[in-house]
Chains A and B, each alone.
Chain A
Amino acid sequence: MAAATTPVLNASPATGLHSFVRRLRSGDEIAHLVTLCVASAVIVITSLIVYELWLNSSLTRHKFGWHFLFTRVWDPIAEQFGALPFIYGTIVTATVALLIAVPLGIGAAIFLAELAPPTLSDGLTFVIDLLAAVPSVIYGLLGIFILVPLLRQYVEPFLMGALGFLPLFRGPAYGVGFLAAGVILAVMVIPFIISVSREVLLSVPRDQREAALALGATRWETTWKVVVPFARTGILGSIFLALARALGETMAVTMVIGNTPHVSASLLASGYTIAAVIANEFSEATSNMHLNALMELALVLFLLTFTLNGLARIMIVLTSQRGSGTGDA
């Protein structure tokens, strides 16, 4: 018995340091350290971005405090800066974009997930993913030469004539403005809504659908009353993702929004968004206060997209977990 146990005692692992050196020599610890350092570059870079934005906006943060978010005036000469017109413009254009893109996107996603045969569904999704790859400046190009004249000559006069009693559709038909920016953004975010919604709809377990059909529901009732509510959180997540994308869009928006820092109830009016004003005024902000104000706007935008993205991811994860969780009968 003693002879059987001794070799085991002798072969037991040495102290921690010994083992560390051994792993180091075999290269594993080095690989671990190297990749860890490189991976943490992401954290370093993101923190640096936040730090730079925070540091470089200190002048305006101290001067205006929270009022910065609620003041309408943007006057570089008098050095009065308020973010309200840009926050308003960003929110309005994103809202218009979602109002157009969400019904279209969810409708298309339902078609692709529930109705289309798999090859057609994959093929169409392929094409729609390509839409997501089109650069922003190309959307801007098409916006200036096709969308804006179209809006100015046909759509906006029609809206003013038919719905002009609403404050939403008053004012001269510029062509450029909130409506143009909203439409362009809608086209840009549709692919995101479709691809994520389609995936969450596909992940809804078959039992749910079959149970509804067995109870006598029509195809549409099954989809709308059973499948979509089940995937509700994930679809909402896709909308949040689309919203985050729309908020940060710069080029296409600045080419069609009219670049005026005004708050206006009418969709036909021209406006400004946070991203667009930074693109236009950053290289020429002639005073430190002006530059700080732009940096503070960038900080606001960063925090907005940060929060939305964070929420979106949680929602999408929740839905897919739910799908796989209740899939087992």
Chain B
Amino acid sequence: MKLRWRKFVSATMLTLTGVCAVISVSLLFFILGYLVYHGGRSLSWDFFTKLPAPVGETGGGMANAIVGSGKLLLLASLIGVPIGFLGGIYLAEFGGTSMAFAVRYTADLLNGVPSIVIGIFAYTVAVLPFKHFSTVAGSLALGVMMIPITMRSTEEFLRAVPRTLREGALALGASKTRTIASVVVPAAYRGIMTAVLLALARVAGETAPLLFTSFNNAFWSPGWGQPAASLPVMIFTYAIAPYDDWHRQAWAAGLVLLGLVLLINVISRLALARGISAPRA
């Protein structure tokens, strides 16, 4: 009798856990479904090619925001990736010292800093002294956010390269630098690239740090030193407004942004899951 009850409890609770899993998984499909439905209806050629219309008028698009986001991300990776990559090499190859421990710990801490605090930092460092909102300031904020992710991923993938590869190179007389540059890094190359893409996808959706760095722009942003429109900021601005036309455009922009982010994530994770290619012996 007692056993029957215990078995019943067991079956019920385990079914409940299944329900929890189903709910969690269906959240994503729910989000995606809504965005495809609302955003899909509002996507148009205008959306991709036109500049925003004056406040209250219908029409216009987000061409400048799409290009603006592209520029921001490009510069952000130029800032964040080299620092993260070289730093990761340090941690993996020259690690073990207390300095390496401090760097690793600080990188994890930097990863956890809320993005708005990083935005404030970029404002005080890159906007105030130059008296300019700019793409550079926005990219600085995003780049700083990319550093810890890139650094730790690079370290992880470099460590995963088998010792035999390193020792083989060293045995052949290569210096440590040569070994790293010609043997270890190429072996971990694919993993590192996908990690960089994932970091990029993460910062592509960030809005808070851009609010007071790259600001916003109703026109095209010339060069790198002027304010620039970006997709996340436009979504925010349009979503809280009362204009129906702006709401439609916000859905469309949301779909484009989410589509991009998810696409990068799916491709990267699939590539990672298939395993890092190690050179055949």
**Do A and B share a direct contact in the complex (Cβ within 8 angstroms)?**
yes
Residues of A within 8 A of B (CB): 26-28, 30-32, 34-36, 38-43, 45-46, 48-49, 52-53, 56, 103-108, 110-112, 114-116, 122, 124, 126-131, 133-138, 140-142, 144-146, 187, 190-191, 194, 218-221, 223-224, 244, 247-251, 255, 275, 278-279, 282-283, 295, 298, 301-302, 305-306, 308-310, 313
- Chain B residues with Cβ below 8 Å from A114 are 17
Q: Are A41 and B147 in contact (CB under 8 A)?
A: yes
- Chain A residues with Cβ below 8 Å from B24 are 104-105, 108, 128, 131, 190-191, 194
Q: Given A111-B14, A111-B17, A218-B7, A46–B207 Cβ distance below 8 Å?
A: no
Nearest CB of chain A from residue B29's CB, rounded to whole Å = 8
- Report the bound CA distance from A187 to B24 in whole Å: 8
Instruction: Determine whether B169 belongs to the interface, using a CB cutoff of 8 Å to chain A.
Output: no
- Report the bound CA distance from A141 to B241 in whole Å: 11
User: Which of B144, B177, B269 gathers most chain A CB within 10 Å?
Assistant: B177
For the complex of A and B, the 10 pairs showing the least CB-CB separation, nearest first, are: A135-B205, A248-B114, A107-B20, A220-B10, A35-B90, A218-B10, A39-B87, A309-B112, A111-B17, A38-B86
Interface pairs (14), CB distance under 8 Å: A28-B177, A52-B121, A52-B125, A108-B23, A111-B21, A136-B206, A140-B236, A218-B6, A220-B9, A250-B208, A278-B116, A309-B109, A309-B111, A313-B108
Residue in B123, B239, B257 whose CB lies within 8 Å of A255? B239
- SS class, residues of chain A in contact with chain B: helix
- Chain B residues with Cβ below 8 Å from A244 are 112
Which residues of B from 215 to 265 have beta carbons under 8 Å from A? 232, 235-236, 239-240, 247, 250-251, 254, 257-258, 261-262, 265
Q: Count of B residues near A, CB < 8 Å?
A: 88
Instruction: Determine whether B132 belongs to the interface, using a CB cutoff of 8 Å to chain A.
Output: no
- Chain A residues with Cβ below 8 Å from B108 are 309, 313
Residue in B89, B110, B205 whose CB lies within 8 Å of A45? B110
Instruction: Determine whether B204 belongs to the interface, using a CB cutoff of 8 Å to chain A.
Output: yes
Instruction: Determine whether B180 belongs to the interface, using a CB cutoff of 8 Å to chain A.
Output: yes
Instruction: Determine whether B278 belongs to the interface, using a CB cutoff of 8 Å to chain A.
Output: no
Q: Are A310 and B109 in contact (CB under 8 A)?
A: yes
Which one of B42-50, B99-107, B159-167 is at the A interface? Answer: B99-107
Residue in B13, B148, B254 whose CB lies within 8 Å of A42? B148
Nearest CB of chain A from residue B85's CB, rounded to whole Å = 9
List 19 other contacts, CB 8 Å, given A108-B17, A130-B28, A138-B205. Answer: A35-B90, A40-B99, A42-B87, A43-B106, A46-B110, A48-B125, A107-B20, A111-B21, A129-B265, A133-B202, A135-B205, A141-B235, A218-B9, A220-B9, A275-B114, A279-B208, A301-B117, A305-B112, A309-B112
Q: Are A115 and B91 in contact (CB under 8 A)?
A: no
- Report the bound CA distance from A131 to B247 in whole Å: 23
- Report the bound CA distance from A142 to B23 in whole Å: 17
Q: Are B250 and A135 in contact (CB under 8 A)?
A: no
Nearest CB of chain A from residue B225's CB, rounded to whole Å = 19
Instruction: Determine whether B124 belongs to the interface, using a CB cutoff of 8 Å to chain A.
Output: yes
Instruction: Determine whether B94 belongs to the interface, using a CB cutoff of 8 Å to chain A.
Output: yes
Q: Given A134-B258, A141-B251, A49–B117 Cβ distance below 8 Å?
A: yes
Residue in B35, B100, B176 whose CB lies within 8 Å of A31? B176
Instruction: Determine whether B18 belongs to the interface, using a CB cutoff of 8 Å to chain A.
Output: yes
Q: Are A136 and B13 in contact (CB under 8 A)?
A: no
Q: Given A31-B176, A39-B91, A302–B113 Cβ distance below 8 Å?
A: yes
Nearest CB of chain A from residue B106's CB, rounded to whole Å = 5
Smallest CB-CB separation from B238: which chain A residue? A141
Nearest CB of chain B from residue A277's CB, rounded to whole Å = 10
Residue in A130, A250, A309 whose CB lies within 8 Å of B265? A130
